[in-house]
A and B are shown apart, each in its own frame.
Chain A
């Protein structure tokens, strides 16, 4: 909860996200047709990178000051506590990205009809990324941040593909509910599975 008091923790991913999004028109040129067709990919890549940016902080500070030790001593199942940490991480990275994505969509000329699918895909996708990121951070605890990025990125391919497919399908007036359902299924399986593996990974530091 301390994270909320320091504004930098939730402002940085947001600003980072917007900067990355801004760089694409600068690099590729400002044509409206080009940008709106690239928008799904640009928004998703920026969202993935921004949610990875803060991933390393999930456990590192608690590990350093000993809060993490309490996790495994406390009477609550450590699974629940890890889930709480992931939820908080999503609140300080995923949620700001969700808000910023509307701005990104406007400056990339994404049609208004695609806003709802974009927000839905980001909602499911960034939550899954927080779960995956937690596992990466737990495995790379005390190591370089780039390591957790390398661990997490190959596994985020389905999220990236599904997320962009949702927006692209809605751009082409196609049905996108199937992609959303798969993302939801991944999230539903990921919550128990990845949280348990994260607990297992954290315990490695206490042997």
Chain B
């Protein structure tokens, strides 16, 4: 049953049809949860006694940093499927997820440095986490750069899949080695790792924001993927029929 469903989802036209049904629900739930989470976090959550209102950027910073990493894992997962089973749709998924992932990573870096200026007094420190996020950003850039230089889209997908698998293997190593590098050089004066445990009324909106961000990613991915499908299959009959029927 599940297998049959998976095989059906692997076919672009069937996925397109199915996603048309699910899109409104995704849209409503993403906007609703993200909206409630952000409003709650930015306006109603209690002010931090040490940092004041500045800390509220956390409701954007933390989810986007988490998303940046999980989107990469998602891409590598798609890459595995694409290399092993040559499922066309997983390649398209990989391609559609990349720009979203790089945006979230960039957002995490930018909000992080905006947050860092008033609290740490500097835009940037060579902290282990900051450094590995920056490298993650470069890896995303490499993946997107590689995809854009190969003209044949299916080949480009496969090339990026191969590279994302290497990335999945090497990212934990990068994280660990940056950690060791930190301890070897000098301990940073401030750590973000040992943050004081949060009170629940600050934590709940964060959780909601996180779920909202994930839904938002799913929404963007579906939209991107639908465009990608239409563009690549534009010579196929079902796309012609669809577009011909619509207008």
Contact = CB atoms under 8 A, between A and B. Distances in A.
A186 B173 CA distance: 9
B146 A155 contact: no
Interface in B107-158: 135, 138-139, 141-142, 145-146, 149-150, 155, 158
Interface string A129-146: 000000100011001100
Interface of chain A, helix or strand or loop or mixed? helix
Interface in B167-196: 167, 169-170, 173-174, 177-178, 180-181, 184
Contacts of A200: 83, 158, 162
Interface in A152-196: 153-155, 157-158, 161-162, 165, 168-169, 179, 182, 186, 189, 193-194
B166 A194 contact: yes
Interface residues of A, number: 29
A150 B141 contact: yes
Nearest to A164: B181
B163 interface: yes
Contacts of A84: none
A155 B146 CA distance: 14
Given A154-B138, A168-B184, A197-B162, A139 B146 contact: yes
A193 to B, nearest CB: 7
Contact of A155 (B139, B150, B162): B139
Given A147-B145, A168-B184, A200-B83, A158 B170 contact: yes
Chain B interface residue number, banded: 20 to 34
Nearest to A132: B166
A153 B145 CA distance: 13
Nearest to A174: B184
A139 B159 CA distance: 6
Contacts of B163: 135, 139, 151
18 contacts: A139-B159, A139-B162, A140-B146, A143-B150, A144-B149, A150-B142, A151-B146, A153-B138, A154-B142, A155-B170, A158-B173, A158-B177, A161-B177, A161-B180, A182-B173, A186-B173, A189-B169, A197-B165
Interface of B: 83, 135, 138-139, 141-142, 145-146, 149-150, 155, 158-159, 162-163, 165-167, 169-170, 173-174, 177-178, 180-181, 184
